[in-house]
Amino acid sequence: MPAPKVHVHPHLVSASVALAADLRARVQAKPDLVIGLPTGSTPTALYAEMVRLHDADGMDWSRMRSFNLDEFWPIAPNHPQSFTRFMREQLFEPADLDPSRTHVPSGDVAAASIAKHCAAYEAAIQKCGGIEVQILGVGLNGHLGFNEPGAARDSRTGLVELAESTRARATAAFAPEQVPTRAITMGLGTILEAREIVVLAFGAEKANAVAAAIEGPVSEECPASLLQEHAKVRWFLDESAAGSLNRIWPP
C-alpha cells in the first residue's frame, strides 16, 4: 500500500498556514482548481488564512470550483449550524469565491427529491472533471464527511443516519431535541475518487482516530483507514493529533 505523507506541525495554525500556501500555489497555477471542502472546527484556521491571503496579498480564489462534503438534513440554509451558512460566512463571502462555482449539498431539499439532488451533485463533480484536491477532517470515530463506521467504501452521495456519538458531539451546538438524525454526505466512493487527498486533524482528542486511520487495519469500521488504499494522501497534523502514531511517516 502507498505510504501516506504525514506533516507534523507545532500548532494547528502553522499547519493551516502551510496548507493555505500550498493551495495558493495550486490555484495560481490552475485558477479553476476543483477542490473538495470540509466543515467543522478543524478547517476554520485554514479558511481564515485563505481569507487573509485574499485581503492582504490580493489572492484571487474566484475561479476555484468547490464541492462541500456534507450538510445536515433537514436544515434551513440560514440555520446557525447549517454548513451552507458556515461556508458562506467562513470562506465563500470573505474570500470572494464565485457563488456559481461553489456547491454544498442542500439541507432543505424535499425528501422526495433527495435521490435526484444527490445524483445531480455527483454529476456536477463529474462535469468539472472530478475533484482534484479533497480536503478532509476526521471524526472522533474515524468518520469522513458523515460516512460513519460501517459505511460502504463504494458509497455515493446520499442521505445517511448520524452515529449517536456524532449527534452527542453536536449537542453543544444544537438544542438537545433539535440535533439532526440525518445528513447528506458525499459517499466514501466519491471521496476516494479525488486525485489527491489532504487530511487535517488537530488536538489530542483526534490522536486515536489518526493512529487508527494511518496505522490500523483497513476496515469500513474506520472509514478514515480506507485512505490507506489511496495513492496520494497527505496528513497535516499538530503534535497532539500525531501523539499516538508509532512511527514517523513515511517510514
In angstroms, give the least distance from the CB of 139 to ligand GLP.
4
Q: Does 69 bind ligand GLP (CB under 6 A)?
A: yes
54 tagged catalytic:
no
- 233-238 and 5-9 as β-strands: parallel, antiparallel, unpaired? parallel
User: Would you give the binding string for ligand GLP spanning residues 29-48, x where CB under 6 A is met?
Assistant: ---------xxxxx------
Helix (H) or strand (E) holding 77: none
In angstroms, give the least distance from the CB of 102 to ligand GLP.
16
User: According to CB under 6 A, which one of 36, 107, 139, 187 is a site residue for ligand GLP?
Assistant: 139
Q: Which among 103, 141, 193, 230 is annotated as catalytic?
A: 141
Q: Which among 70, 71, 193, 238 is annotated as catalytic?
A: 70
Task: Give the interface segment with ligand GLP, choosing from 48-56, 90-98, 137-145, 149-157 (CB under 6 A).
Answer: 137-145
Q: Give 31 or 150: the residue with its C-beta nearer to ligand GLP.
A: 150
Q: Which among 49, 71, 122, 148 is annotated as catalytic?
A: 148
Count of C-beta atoms within a 10 Å radius of residue 118? 22
Q: Does 146 bind ligand GLP (CB under 6 A)?
A: yes
143 tagged catalytic:
yes
Q: Does 105 bind ligand GLP (CB under 6 A)?
A: no
CA–CA separation, 166 and 158 (whole Å): 17
Nearest residue to 148 via CA among 136, 161, 167, 158 = 161
8 Å CB contact between 206 and 243: no
CA–CA separation, 28 and 5 (whole Å): 23
Give 3-state DSSP helix, strand, coil % of the chain, rounded to 5: 40, 20, 45
141 tagged catalytic:
yes
C-alpha cell at 139: 471524526
238 tagged catalytic:
no
8 Å CB contact between 197 and 186: no
User: According to CB under 6 A, which one of 145, 180, 187, 223 is a site residue for ligand GLP?
Assistant: 145
Q: Give 4 or 139: the residue with its C-beta nearer to ligand GLP.
A: 139
**For residue 28, what are the contacts with CB-CB under 8 A and spacing of at least 6?**
none
Q: Give 39 or 90: the residue with its C-beta nearer to ligand GLP.
A: 39
Adjacent-strand bridge partners of 73:
182
Task: Give the interface segment with ligand GLP, choosing from 48-56, 132-140, 190-198, 211-219 (CB under 6 A).
Answer: 132-140
- 182-185 and 158-161 as β-strands: parallel, antiparallel, unpaired? antiparallel
The count of residues interacting with ligand GLP (CB under 6 A) is 13
Q: Give the footprint of ligand GLP on this chain (CB under 6 A).
A: 38-42, 69-70, 137-139, 145-146, 166
